[in-house]
Amino acid sequence: MAIRKESGLPTLAHLNLLAAAFESVDGEHEADDLAGFIMETAYLAEELSPEEVLRDVNEDRAVSGFPEVRALDQVEAELTERKRYFRTAIKDALDKLPPITLIQVMTKTADRATSGGNNHAPELVDDLVDSYEVETQGILHAEADNVHKLIQAAGDSAGSGEDAVRPYVDKLIAVARNWDKIAQPIQMNSKARGIDHGASHDLAYKIRSLAIDLFNKHDMLTQSQRLTSLIQEIFAELPAIVDRVEQDADALADIFRQRQQATARKGEWVREITYHAEIGLMIKNTLSISPEGLSWKGQLFPLDTITRVRWGAVRHSINGIPTGTTYTIAFGDRRSEAVVELKKQDIYSTFIDKLWRAVCVRLLTEMLQELRDGRNLHFADALLHDDGITLVKHKFLGSNENVRCSWGQVHIWNADGSLCVGAKDDKKAYVGVSYIHGENTHILEQAIRMGFKKPGLRRLSELL
């Protein structure tokens, strides 16, 4: 390909010679050299100027005694055809290559042209990648189907334990990497264009869902970490995926470290939640919390059976003179509830702190999981959804009506012993949920406040 070393030629003439040189490409051509040849041609094609071509043509016509060409649009139309010819010449050369070499050439070309997906590629490279995407669609779809089947098989076998899941994860990783080798040029070019490669996006989230399920539902931290690392490796060209999976990886790494320390910390946790106090002046009753559960007046509620908690305080006064405060703590399972009333703030505050550590964190997680699974939860007049909340629009005349808002459309505040949630743009649309009488109101408030702190949050279950 000595023609590649030619210099001093007009751009169009040089491109015509390069296009002709692609005819000499055969199946033995080195991938790296061919990628470089394509890049030279692509960048030279970017330099094509209709005005420059028109000038060169008219100079030649003047020497030959022919009249000048004045219609620039004719030149532009012809250049469009020539660019199509250049693309066809390169594509015909690529079609002579073995599949592995073809993939290597396209990957190297896309990588160099886009600097790994960070810069726009020349138009000719964009066109070649578009053609490549069309031609590889069938094999990518078939490999994606294989990944989906392995995801399903891994999920179905999870109930049988990690030993049953591991072989499917091994195969899934191998097939996904093979899929990625083919998809790499498309991924880099899509990133450079500022768009997501739909097939990559879909596959990444399906693998991520398996990783989440293996951990959340089956406690398989190692397999979840393997899949998370795989996503980071093969979908690095998808910014949205990278950000989300980095959070997953960080969370899993934190969990792994926490588990390494769990045995040492178990005694500390027991000390943190264990507490008991005597309530009453004449007749004493014991309020206690421990790893065995919550107990009041001899009734024991194991920690994992508790489904509801509520607490709050009421200040009393006579003729404006404070006479004291009554504190209420209630907890229960699906069948019954224990209600504790006391006067001492220190006992109240200490017990609530222990209760939060022992029970409320779990209730918060379970609530988010229910929302993620599509359930809607009632809190007084409010209906909680994963992606928002249904409020009540209060009318002076006529019946009130329900108004559904996203999380970005609401704000919260406290008033009259209640958690209030209202629409930002409509003061009449709001609900109030009592802290002292409403079940799990404090859990709801914690979830919403955590959601507000997470930029761009659309669903509360994203906190999981």
Q: Does 455 fall in a domain?
A: yes
CA distance 179 to 190: 16
Q: Which of 42-51, 83-92, 403-412 has the lowest mean pLDDT?
A: 42-51
In contact, 340 and 328? CB cutoff 8 Å? yes
Identify which has the larger pLDDT, 397 or 181: 181
- pLDDT bin (cut points 50, 70, 90) of residue 370 is very high
Task: Answer yes or no: are the C-beta atoms of 83 and 123 closer than 8 Å.
Answer: yes
Mean pLDDT, rounded, for 422-431: 95
Looking at the structure, do residues 196 and 236 belong to the same domain, yes or no? Answer: yes
Please determine, for residue 7, whether its predicted confidence score (pLDDT) is greater than 70: no
> Would you list the DSSP string of 88-133?
HHHHHHHTTS-HHHHHHHHHHHHHHHHTTTTSPPPHHHHHHHHHHH
Q: Do residues 380 and 450 share a domain?
A: yes
397: buried, middle or exposed (CB in 10 Å: 19+, 13-18, 0-12)? Answer: exposed
The answer to whether residues 348 and 421 belong to one domain is: no
The band of 59, judged by pLDDT with boundaries at 50, 70 and 90, is: low
Q: Are 308 and 443 in contact (CB under 8 A)?
A: no
Position 398 pLDDT exceeds 60: yes
Helix (H, G, I), strand (E, B) or coil at 394: coil
Q: Which helix (H) or strand (E) holds 184?
A: helix 162-193
Looking at the domain assignment, is residue 353 inside a domain?
yes
The pLDDT tens digits for 21-31 are 888 888 888 89
Per-residue model confidence (pLDDT) at position 248:
86
> Where does a domain end: 320, 340, 367?
367
Do residue 298 and residue 259 come from a single domain? no
Q: How far is CA 369 from CA 150, 249, 377, in A?
A: 25, 20, 12
Residue 71 confidence (pLDDT) above 70:
no
Q: Do 323 and 381 share a domain, yes or no?
A: no
pLDDT digits (tens, 9 = 90+) for 106-150: 999 999 999 999 999 999 999 999 999 999 999 999 999 999 999
Gap between the Cα atoms of 52 and 73, Å rounded:
13
Structurally, how many domains does the chain consist of? 4
Residues 150 and 259 in one domain: yes
Provide the residue range defining the domain that includes 302: 274-367
Report angle CA 127, 131, 132 to the nearest 5 degrees. 115
Both tokens assigned to 301: 């509620």
Whole-number Å distance between alpha carbons of 311 and 350: 13
Please check whether residue 176 is in contact with residue 168, taking contact to mean a CB–CB distance below 8 angstroms: no
Same domain, 143 and 260: yes
Please tell me the distance from the alpha carbon of residue 185 to that of residue 187, in angstroms, as a whole number.
Answer: 6
Q: How high is the pLDDT of residue 345? A: 94
Cα separation, 124 vs 117, in Å, equals 16
pLDDT band, residue 61 (cuts 50/70/90): low
Weakest-pLDDT range from 62-71, 183-192, 303-312, 433-442: 62-71
State the pLDDT confidence band at 3, using cuts at 50, 70 and 90. low
On the question of pLDDT at 101 being above 60, the answer is yes
User: Does one domain contain both 55 and 93?
Assistant: yes
**Which of 63, 97, 131 finishes a domain?**
97
pLDDT-based confidence at residue 58 (cuts at 50, 70, 90) = low
**H helix intervals, 194-238:** 198-216, 221-234
150 & 242 share domain: yes
Same domain, 396 and 300: no
Q: Tell which of 367, 391, 406 closes a domain.
A: 367
For residues 351 and 329, the answer to whether their CB atoms sit within 8 Å is yes
- Under a CB-based contact definition with an 8 Å cutoff, are residues 301 and 294 in contact? yes
**Helix 162-193 to helix 99-114 angle, to the nearest 10 degrees?**
50
Q: Are residues 352 and 399 in the same domain?
A: no
Residue 219, in any domain of the structure: yes
| Within a domain: 83 | yes
Calculate the alpha carbon distances from 29 to 1, 26, 35, 106, 135 in Å: 11, 6, 10, 14, 21
Beta bridge partners of 285: 279
Q: Are residues 407 and 380 in the same domain?
A: yes
pLDDT digits (tens, 9 = 90+) for 202-260: 999 999 999 999 998 998 989 999 999 999 999 988 888 888 888 888 888 888 878 77
Q: Which of 192-206, 242-256, 269-283, 348-362 holds the top average pLDDT?
A: 348-362
